[in-house]
Amino acid sequence: MVFRLAKSFTASLSMAGALASAMLFMAPVQAQDSPMSLADRVARLEQQQQNLDQTRGNQVNQVQQMQSQMRDMQGQIEELQHQLQQLQEQSKAQYTDADSRLGRLEKGASANPAPAAGSSAPAPAAPAAASTAAPANAATSPAPPAAPAESAAQKTAALNAYNAAFKSLKGGDYVSSSRGFREFIEKYPNDALTPNAFYWLGESYYATTNYQVAVEAFKHLLSQYPQSDKAPDATLKLGYSQLEMKQTDAGMSTLKSVATKYPNSNAAKLAQERLRRLSQQSSH
């Protein structure tokens, strides 16, 4: 009986030792595997988050760069549109001016076909009267036709000078153009083309970015020849010049006056379009 108890106790001790050994062996393994696996997962998640943040940052930078490029392109497009409008306006104004000049020349030719040459023909008829007064009358009668002949020559010279300056303008030689129009104005201040000369003088200076002198030319035209056909265009270009000189308030006020004073003109449409673009730029 005592022997069986001792044997059973010994077996129990052996089994307990085996279990203890097994537990001691498994505990380090579990303690080693579990924390490392968790650390790996945390590290992997952190790396994924860093990669995601970097990707998002790159995408944000790309979007910002694209937006900046789009703004630059929009500004270039608006500038090109402005230059195109200026070229269209200048071309139309040139054709209009040429048509008006041709119209005036045609009217002048039809109103005075050739009486200047014929007017001298009646002079020999005066000596037909056999009296002592006839030679005196014959001597004084040629004097009146001299004035129209001189006036016609002056008009021809004025027109040639104007055309030469205008040709320089069309050819892009703005220095020669401005010099030609200045000389025309000084030499023929009362000619019918003088208001137009002031306008094209302003255009010559505007094309060379000499905006202050262009403003003076346009203002002179508007003050001295307010009824001129060039008044709407001169007012428009006066506003453009003021804007180029960074006189924004004055320029916008001038452009608004174009639509008020000349509502049915092409200049009014261009002024409204420029005001619209200015309003869009200020809102951005």
Quote the CA–CA distance of 72 and 68 in Å, as a whole number: 6
Quote the CA–CA distance of 237 and 245 in Å, as a whole number: 12
> Which range among 48-62, 117-131, 141-155, 217-231 has the greatest average pLDDT?
217-231
Is 272 within 8 Å of 238 (Cβ atoms)? Answer: no
Place of tokens 């002031």: 198
Quote the CA–CA distance of 245 and 241 in Å, as a whole number: 6
Amino acid identity of residue 27, one-letter, is A
Q: Which of 108-122, 167-181, 214-228 has the lowest mean pLDDT?
A: 108-122
Q: What is the pTM of this model?
A: 0.50
Quote the CA–CA distance of 186 and 184 in Å, as a whole number: 5
Longest Cα–Cα distance of the chain, Å, equals 197
Q: What is the predicted pLDDT for the residue at 263? A: 92
Q: Which residue, among 248, 190, 251, has the nearest Cα to 218 in the 3D structure?
A: 251
DSSP assignments along 8-71, one per residue: HHHHHHHHHHHHHHHHHHHHHHHHHHHHHHHHHHHHHHHHHHHHHHHHHHHHHHHHHHHHHHHH
Amino acid identity of residue 250, one-letter, is A
Q: What is the predicted pLDDT for the residue at 238? A: 96
What the block records as the tokens of 191 is: 């000619």
Mean residue pLDDT of the chain comes to: 75
Q: Which of 36-40, 156-160, 179-183, 271-275 has the lowest mean pLDDT?
A: 36-40
Q: Which residue, among 235, 166, 154, has the nearest Cα to 196 in the 3D structure?
A: 166
Please write the tens of the pLDDT for every residue from 102-120.
Answer: 555 545 544 444 443 333 3
Q: Which residue, among 270, 195, 283, has the nearest Cα to 237 in the 3D structure?
A: 270
Surface-to-core class of residue 25, CB atoms within 10 Å of its CB (0-12 exposed, 13-18 middle, 19+ buried): exposed
The 8-class DSSP code of residue 131 comes to: S
Is 185 within 8 Å of 197 (Cβ atoms)? Answer: yes
Angle between helices 266-283 and 2-111 (to 10 degrees): 160
Helix ranges (H only) for the chain are: 2-111, 115-119, 133-140, 143-170, 174-187, 194-207, 211-224, 231-244, 248-261, 266-283
Question: Is residue 75 very low, low, confident or very high in pLDDT (cuts 50, 70, 90)?
Answer: low
Q: Which of 30-44, 105-119, 148-162, 217-231 has the lowest mean pLDDT?
A: 105-119
What the block records as the tokens of 104 is: 């005036």
